[in-house]
A and B are shown apart, each in its own frame.
Chain A
């Protein structure tokens, strides 16, 4: 098992190196020049331009800039934001908990609803429930996030007034950030109503963010269940006269869950991407919105290191998924 883990982790090194190269070139391939964007519409004299570019090292050939960047990375220096001048790592750590909180709630919603829907749809294959839920999943999967988010805001916040429009908590609550998770910090603050406010702020964005994973998980569960239910051991279990609940709950579901867990794990990566739009709509102060802002400002250091950090987290999550997969399916380990 340890060898398995080590081997997997060894693969991370070339992958991470590849990601630095992609992120580094991606932001530079975009048209637009950070020096000019810093100067804005005002314009900047050629001397001043050269001065700033030299200060930032952007006057050197791109490959030298890349090597310099890698050198700094090896020393644990992710660089400083061009806009705020603060270390990328500091900014990342300030915003990351908000994204994790939103993503966790979203993946929980997607799993708790998606798995049962998939199971029921599989058992009642061809029924109205099956058709309805799978059509809904198809729609959910292809929903444009921006439109969907605004629609929910207008309906639930604007027309009905049930949920707050955006942000993480009502502005009347003010307390120190201990964990960075609003659900926990609000409870720790001891202020009455703070937790409820945090929950109410999470509802719409987490639903929006959960929509795509929910659709994927429901469909994946359904097809995995259908496949497993056709297997010999399920037929055998049925023939032995076990109760349908036991046949489905233990024999079928347990085996069907193997690919489903992988799907859930992989959806966490998708959530990171989905968070970019969701956070923008709901003014959710997380890394998704931070990335969008930084790309539009050509904040090179933030984009290249931010993407690297996000990629590292997605890979670690995937590694954990792999390991869990190994745990629940012993056959993998021995290969």
Chain B
């Protein structure tokens, strides 16, 4: 009975729907989740940055599409002082902010907007610091911008000078990141006057390629092309985010023509997507690494020989075939091969269980039993940690090491894996934020991040390694930096605080008629250049 009524309704509504054509240039993106808000500064999720930072806003500099190289954006050029502590940005003139029903800009973008953007995050006393109760600026502090920036000065309307406490080369990459998206000071003043400060987050005004139109919570975000865009104007008229959290439903929507492009397909669906004549699949090595971090402060894992032996017992290729279904490459370094300074001369530990067994005996380790922690969630760098742990378990069994697999709820996992004296080796990974090697090596492996709460899950502190990183960070010379990071990778390989597992491939399925989409190595979704052919 229910089937009959369904058919009747479906048939009649289908006829009506088919009669109404879609707008010619409306591009629909089936996003994987709701943005936390539309002010990019206080949030940390990539989903938020796609919906606000990239669609609505610009930064001083930006990543050249498809790369991690820096190119001019709201700053046309910049000078760096001899000692590397002063960055002077020369701002682009004639850049218009968007308008909405409550705000029409009376002036172009200028230095005041840049200063407002940084200072509201930097100083707890700033009137816009906590403009929404409970708001904090996690990215600003976790990228250590608060410790780095000494002062920001307005030289004139179109020149801004940043003075740093110490020379730091990754600084430019940092100011290309969404959390320092430039917001309008004039808009903030208007909101202040009308007592609607929260609209800075609810009804964003930026200089970006798309104007924000409307957001219906958890359902849909609408944008319109910014006709006054300072860069090349978008080719589509309307951009729509259809929020669709379930990956298989996203794929169904893509197949049904209800959206044009989707992120994060599930690996099991890739063959199905390749076989569909109406779809195409873009693939690119991701800027990520999946790894197994030993606790280098606990015996016997404090001995590099033991860690090396275990690494040699791991059949990584088999693991990649089974867990990633071949959609990844074996990792030998902690940074991915698409990143500059990747040391390709390094040789990976050879898979050799016999030699590994011998090495363990030489190190005096007998009847070793250990924990391997499997994260409970899927991440691009680790599609199935439980399966990975099982394969490691059987590999290690071959050299007489007993593995117990442990898992916790995700929040608990992150917390416990940071605790000092932690038992067991932890499966985790990392996706780059800004394309700078420092963002992998210092965050994940330096002495500073080996403290509790830091992201160094191996608690590995090697002075020589950390010194190299510090030197590279302070050196404005790119070639010098490359050399230093290459050396650091040699030390990493000798000391083996991790078993590096894989760099996974990023897949973006889209409709056949989508052109001009450029995948970002940083995993962002940017639609400035996208177009639809008939």
Chain A residues packing against B (C-beta within 8 Å)? 30-34, 36-46, 48-49, 52, 55-56, 80, 82-86, 91, 94-95, 98, 109, 113, 117, 150, 153-154, 156-158, 161-168, 170-172, 174, 177, 192-193, 196-197, 199-200, 203, 207, 210, 214, 280-283, 285-286, 289-290, 293, 298
Contact = CB atoms under 8 A, between A and B. Distances in A.
A84 B220 CA distance: 16
Interface in B180-203: 201
Given A42-B142, A199-B13, A168 B219 contact: yes
B305 interface: no
Contact of B249 (A84, A165, A172): A165
Contacts of B244: 166-167, 283
Contacts of B415: 32-33, 36
Interface stretch (B75-83, B168-176, B445-453): B445-453
A165 B256 contact: yes
A170 B449 CA distance: 48
A34 B136 CA distance: 14
A237 to B, nearest CB: 29
B249 A283 contact: yes
B277 interface: no
8 contacts: A31-B408, A43-B453, A84-B36, A164-B17, A171-B28, A196-B13, A285-B219, A293-B33
A193 B16 contact: yes
Given A31-B409, A43-B455, A82-B134, A174 B13 contact: no
B252 A158 contact: yes
Given A196-B13, A203-B6, A167 B242 contact: yes
Nearest to A47: B453
A193 B20 CA distance: 8
Contact of B217 (A91, A163, A283): A91
B299 interface: no
Contact of A30 (B16, B135, B409): B409
B258 A165 contact: yes
B383 to A, nearest CB: 16
B364 interface: no
B249 A52 contact: no
Contacts of A55: 134, 136
Contacts of B256: 157-158, 161, 164-165
A38 B138 contact: yes
Q: Chain B, interface size: which category?
A: 35 or more
Interface in B206-244: 214, 216-220, 222, 240, 242-244
A207 B292 CA distance: 45
Contact of A171 (B10, B13, B240): B240
Contacts of A157: 252, 256
A45 B2 contact: no
Contact of A165 (B11, B133, B253, B414): B253
Nearest to B241: A171
Contacts of A154: 252
Interface in B412-429: 412, 414-415, 418, 428
B418 A174 contact: no
